[in-house]
Amino acid sequence: MLELTLTPLEREALALSLRVALWSMVLSLPFGVLTAWLLARREFPGKALFNGLVHLPLVVPPVVVGYLLLVLFGRRGPLGAWLYDSFGLTLAFSWRGAALAAGVMAFPLMVRAMRLSLEAVDRRLEAAARTLGAGPLEVFVTITLPLMSPGILAGAILAFARSLGEFGATITFVSNIPGETRTLPLALYSLAQTPGGETGALRLALLAVVLALAALAASEILARRLRERIEA
């Protein structure tokens, strides 16, 4: 029989996963919009390289990303040491590091959705807004952002769902610490490695599927609402 209430361990993994995914999504949002804008609207030297870097997590093994994060953000890494000395912030082996790893891995997906919607924004509307007295930044905030909002939302949800499932980069960068960095996929992995953990692993797998479906459904509903508001 399948017990429907979650065990304390499952609840802990679920809560941690949601926290990690939420933070990774929220913190990468502004960078996502900025990157999408740079890629869609700007020409600058090294743009091809920049584009490649943004998309790197899609094509290299997640372990590589996790390892690079460990090198850069580990306690003795150049960025990790700076963060610790300046803010007392440690990423390695903490849930914050898990959020960073998830954010980096999901970033290309987020940027892609945003970039597509930004490219679909009619630039003639932006020109019209300028003739009405709005400066470039004002035009971006009052015209461009609202018009690309379905893409921002889609990118955010996609990144959220991707973060929920992050495994390779996370386990490499922040390890598998119960209550700290053991998110759903890591808990599932641990159970699958343990003799007699099959039932627990199956329950977590089902939970992950339900979670992903819920995120996708939420994204569909919100995107439709937004589109209706825009096109009425």
Partner 1 sequence: MLEVTASKRLGEFVADFSFSCQAYGITAVFGKSGAGKTTLVNMLAGLVQPDEGRICVAGTPLFDAAQGLDVPVERRRLGYVFQEGRLFPHLSVRGNLHYGLRRAPPDERRIGFDQIVTLLGLEALLGRRPAQLSGGEKQRVALGRALLANPRLLLMDEPLAALDQPRKQEVLPFIERLRDELAVPIVYVSHAMEEIVRLADRLVLISEGRVEALGPVEDLTSRLDLRPLTGRYEAGAVIEGRVLGHDEAFGLTALSFAGGTLRVPRLALGRGAEVRVRIRARDVALALTPPEGTSFLNIFPGVVRDIGREPGPQVDVLLDLGGAALWARVTARSRHALSLTPGARVYALVKAVAIDRHALGRASPDR
The region that residue 139 occupies, defined by phi over 0 for left and psi between -120 and 50 for alpha, beta otherwise, is: alpha
Q: Does 130 bind partner 1 (CB under 8 A)?
A: yes
182 burial class (0-12, 13-18, 19+ CB within 10 angstroms)? buried
User: Which one among 18, 29, 134, 201 touches partner 1, defined by CB under 8 A?
Assistant: 134
Token readout for 46 is 């090294």
CB 223 within 8 A of CB 150: yes
Binding of partner 1 at residue 123 (CB under 8 A)?
Answer: no
**Considering the complex, what minimum distance in angstroms separates the CB of residue 161 from partner 1?**
26
Determine the size of the site formed for partner 1 (CB under 8 A). Answer: 21
Window of 15-23, 36-44, 128-136, 151-159 that interacts with partner 1 by CB under 8 A: 128-136
Sign of CA dihedral 142, 143, 144, 147: positive
Q: Work out whether 127 is an interface residue with partner 1 (CB under 8 A).
A: yes
Q: From the CB of 193, what's the least distance to partner 1, in Å?
A: 51
By CB atoms closer than 10 A (0-12, 13-18, 19+), residue 83 is middle
Residue 127 CB, nearest approach to partner 1 (Å): 6
Distance CA 77, CA 115 (A): 32
230 binds partner 1 (CB under 8 A): yes
142 versus 199: smaller Cβ distance to partner 1: 142
132 touching partner 1, by CB under 8 A: yes
CB 230 to partner 1: min, Å? 4
Site string for partner 1, 140-179 (x = CB under 8 A): --xx--xx--------------------------------
Task: Please give the angle made by the CA atoms of 35, 40 and 46, to the nearest 5 degrees.
Answer: 70
**133 touches partner 1 by CB under 8 A:** yes
Q: How far apart are CA 92 and CA 85, in angstroms?
A: 14
Among 61, 135, 178, 179, binds partner 1 (CB under 8 A): 135
203: Cβ contacts below 8 Å, ≥ 6 apart = 2, 10
CB of 141 to partner 1, least distance (A): 12
Interface residue list for partner 1 (CB under 8 A): 122, 124-125, 127-135, 138, 142-143, 146-147, 229-232
